[in-house]
């Protein structure tokens, strides 16, 4: 069964507010995507990271195309994803707009991974990616990263649900 593009254009898109309201009910993990070294480090908070395929191992992350981080990932061709845990809400907010540029990295211990990308030391997990593909859709760039290294950590995840950063309740 296939779709014809002419059929798909016959439908209007929902309004942004309606879309935002619907998506508030999709819980998602919170991460920091970062690239660069020393004074050229750039990063931001995302809740749009998903595994894509196992062969080759790839993930997909959405980044606003007007951000410094979007341009930096394109320039560097590599990026790191640090998965945030409960108790890291302040860091998530800092990278969501509380600080700019290199100043975002000032309050936490960062390491450079094997791809020379910034990785958060106390993250509950980290992935290092080389840029496999990039596509702009609307206001965002979709980056497909081929995963070349991972690092596991400990802790409970930080999630975004109904517009708030939350820890999952203990089982």
Eight-class DSSP state of 161: E
Residue 3: what pLDDT? Answer: 47
CB 166 within 8 A of CB 156: no
Q: What is the pTM of this model?
A: 0.89
Q: What is the pLDDT of residues 45-93, one digit of tens each?
A: 999 999 999 999 999 999 999 999 999 999 999 999 999 999 999 999 9
3-state secondary structure 31-88: EEEEECCHHHCEEEEECCEEEEEECCEEEEEEEECCCHHHHHHHHHCEEEEEECECCC
Looking at the DSSP bridge assignments, the partners of residue 49 are 61
Listed in sequence order, the residues at least 6 apart from 43 whose beta carbon sits closer than 8 Å to its beta carbon are 32, 33, 34, 35, 69, 95, 104, 105, 118
Cα 127 to Cα 151: distance, rounded to the nearest angstrom: 6
Distances 53 to 112, 144, 171 between C-alpha atoms, Å: 25, 10, 29
Q: What is the mean pLDDT of residues 86-115?
A: 92
Q: What is the pLDDT of residues 112-124, one digit of tens each?
A: 999 999 999 999 9
| Residue ranges per structural domain of the chain | 46-161
* Domain at 46-161: CATH architecture: Roll (2.30)
Cα 81 to Cα 97: distance, rounded to the nearest angstrom: 17
Cα 126 to Cα 87: distance, rounded to the nearest angstrom: 17
Q: Is pLDDT at 36 greater than 90 in this prediction?
A: yes
Q: Indicate the range of 10-19, 47-56, 132-141, 150-159 predicted with least confidence.
A: 10-19
Q: Is pLDDT at 5 greater than 60 in this prediction?
A: no
Looking at the DSSP bridge assignments, the partners of residue 45 are 32
């Amino acid at each position: 069964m296939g779709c014809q593009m002419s059929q798909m254009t016959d439908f209007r898109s929902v309004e942004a507010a309606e879309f935002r309201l619907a998506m508030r009910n999709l819980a998602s993990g919170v991460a920091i995507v970062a690239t660069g070294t020393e004074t050229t480090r750039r990063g931001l908070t995302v809740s749009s990271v998903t595994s894509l395929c196992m062969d080759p191992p790839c993930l997909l992350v959405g980044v606003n195309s007007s951000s410094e981080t979007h341009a930096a990932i394109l320039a560097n061709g590599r990026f790191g994803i640090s998965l945030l845990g409960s108790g890291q809400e302040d860091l998530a907010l800092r990278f969501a707009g509380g600080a700019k540029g290199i100043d975002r990295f000032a309050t936490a211990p960062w390491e450079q991974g094997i791809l020379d990308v910034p990785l958060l030391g106390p993250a509950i997990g980290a992935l290092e990616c080389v840029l496999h593909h990039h596509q702009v859709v609307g206001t965002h760039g979709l980056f497909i990263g081929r995963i070349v290294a991972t690092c596991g950590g400990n802790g409970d995840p930080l999630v975004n649900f109904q517009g708030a950063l939350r820890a999952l309740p203990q089982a």
